[in-house]
Structure 1
Amino acid sequence: MKNLKVNLGIAMLVIASLTAVSCKNNNEEGNVDNSGMDHENMSEGSEMMEGGTQTSEDISGGENQDSQTGIIVNDYLELKDALVADNSEGAAKAGESLVTAFENFDRSGYEAGEQQEMTEIIEDAREHAEHIAVSDMAHQREHFDILSIDLVDMLAITGSPETLYQQFCPMYNNNKGAIWLSTSEEIRNPYFGQNMLSCGEVQKEI
């Protein structure tokens, strides 16, 4: 009977030891699995983050839009400077360049609603640029008035590639006034040219 009790005690100790070892192994295996799972989740998270970043194609598309807008702004500024200098021939050449720039403007990178709005703006602006290319100075200035409004509306959608100042002459068009854009805050009036060079004021920065 005594031997039986001893044997039972030994057996219970062995079982307890095996159970402890088994639990320990399970815990270690669980830690390994969790570690592997975390690494996998982190990798998937990294891939998702990378997928959400801006691609070089997106960046180049934005740069292309800026470039197109920049061409139009530069041609417009050349036209404005020609009118300031009372240079009808120079204004006509700038008008021709604007016609081409408006015709080549790619609107596909914009949202559908913006594309529709820009199409209307660009068609109207191109028409005024066409008139400027073939008109005398007085008519060039009349069309420049509406062209300037069109360009402001366009830049509200595309953004401006550089800092521009919207300026205003209160005396043009029978004192109804007219706006234009310039890269400088200094007033150089394209509607009266050398006759009233400094007539006007800065309305806002674009």
Structure 2
Amino acid sequence: MARRQARFTAQEMADDPRLRDHSPDLWREDLGKVQRGLLSSAVRCFAANGFHATTTRDIAEGVGLSPAALYVHFPSKELVLFEIIRVGHERVLAHVRDPSILAVDSSADRLRAIVSAYTVWHARHHVAARVCQMALNGLTAEHYGEIVELRHQTNGYIRGVVGRGVADGSFAQVDVARVTRAMLSLSIDLVRWYRLDGSDSPEELGEFYASLALKLVAR
């Protein structure tokens, strides 16, 4: 959601269907209820108003707490952002590395399964994923470096699947790096406009984007 000049209030964010996704399911089970609530509130705040325009008061108000409550659980606003972005990148990488996907032998079927899963994850968590992709400039240099490494792992994993298909003759002799970037960009771009109450379910969009990915490597 593009940031408006008028800031969203906590109530407006809670009521806006464009800011509803499955982000609350992302947080570690060992985190307490308040910590998980603060992270979910921060996702909405960062997506609606941007990281720099969001205050700790905004985040705390989203779960009915005083501004000082956030510092009990997170030393800084930047650490809240880092936790969201780190968890998002780790979860999507684990999702596309699911054993059921790794067990697929055919290069084409494996690529279809990966692109579908990657797309579905971004659709289900489109608000959190928007923060993961568009708020990187709010991280410290050290934290940004950690996220870049996770992104390299994801890109390298999918690039390896495309390269495998080129090598075994399943795919055309494409530029593996460029084609992989195009596939990833398709799935990531949906976070700008997707909403769960729209016309396409995450699964439908996943199948559609997977078909497009296979067309990019068709012989």
Give yes or no for TM over 0.5: no
Higher Cα Rg: structure 1 or 2?
1
Q: Which has the higher contact order (CA 8 A, sep 6+)?
A: 2
TM-score with structure 1 setting the length: 0.30
TM-score with structure 2 setting the length: 0.28
Structure richer in strand, relative to its length: 1
